[in-house]
Amino acid sequence: MTAANSAECDRFRELAPEIALGLVAGHERAAALAHLQDCPACGQHTATLGTVHDRLRALIPPAEPPVGFEQRVLDRLGVTRPRPAPTARWIRAAAAAAVVVAAFGGGWVAGSAGRPPAVASPLVDGAQHVGDIIVSRERPNFLSVYLDVARPGRLTCELLRTDGSVAATETYDATGGTGWWGISRPAGDVAAIRVSDAGGAVVATGGLPRP
């Protein structure tokens, strides 16, 4: 606050708590926001009060919603649990891409280079397509594995070298629907993935996608 604008700051600060609580509208709000653009000190003051509001909301105890709430929300969003299908692969790739962008700060726009942002290969159980392996071009040593889970339970995902030996292992506790997990690819000639259920039965296999 400077001497030149102290009177204006005083007026603003009278109103700042209500601004922070979102209770001021119209020209009063417009005038306040205009002042904030020119006054970092009042901006900081308002931000502090806004934090108070955030912290107050965080005191509200959680409450379990009525039975069926989750499904009703998903219905409202038009979301249905996906079954593996050729078109699902690129939805998953986009999801993986979004995660990679978020994790590494972006600078990468899906498809902007004229080629897919990620590559994918199918996971199969016999002749049935049961999932996908997705690798972002920006993060080639991290595999995103999506699998349509037939039976909930612990899954073991193994990365196999070309000679069939196991290069890395990851476990995943599947709850049903489409399971997702990530696994880092170690250096070397890793060529395929094998997923087994808790009883040791192989439920999916697939070759790693080629960049």
Partner 1 sequence: MSDDLLLAGLTAGDAELAVTFVRRFQARVFGVALTVLGDPALAEDVAQQAFERAWRHAALFDPRRGAVGTWLTAITHNLAVDAARARRAIPVDPLELQDVLTGETPEHSAIAAESADELRAAIRALPVEQGRALVLAAFRGLTAREVAESEGIPLGTAKTRIRAAMLRLAAALEEQEDRA
Tell me which residues touch partner 1 (CB under 8 A): 14, 16-18, 20-24, 48-49, 51-66, 69-70, 72-74, 76-77, 79-82, 91-92, 94-99, 101-103, 177-180
Collect all residues with Cβ–Cβ distance below 8 Å to 59 and sequence separation of at least 6. Answer: none
> Residue 72 or 154: which CB sits closer to partner 1?
72
Dihedral of alpha carbons 28, 34, 38, 43, sign: positive
Smallest distance, partner 1 to C-beta of residue 86, A: 16
What residue has token string 């653009």? Answer: 37
Cα distance between the two ends of the chain: 57
Q: Which amino acid is at 38?
A: D
Smallest distance, partner 1 to C-beta of residue 10, A: 12
Contact assessment for residue 201 and residue 144, using Cβ atoms and an 8 Å cutoff:
no
Smallest distance, partner 1 to C-beta of residue 161, A: 28
Smallest distance, partner 1 to C-beta of residue 188, A: 27
> Residue 22 or 188: which CB sits closer to partner 1?
22
Is residue 125 within a helix (H) or strand (E), and if so which, with residue range? strand 118-125
> Residue 48 or 165: which CB sits closer to partner 1?
48
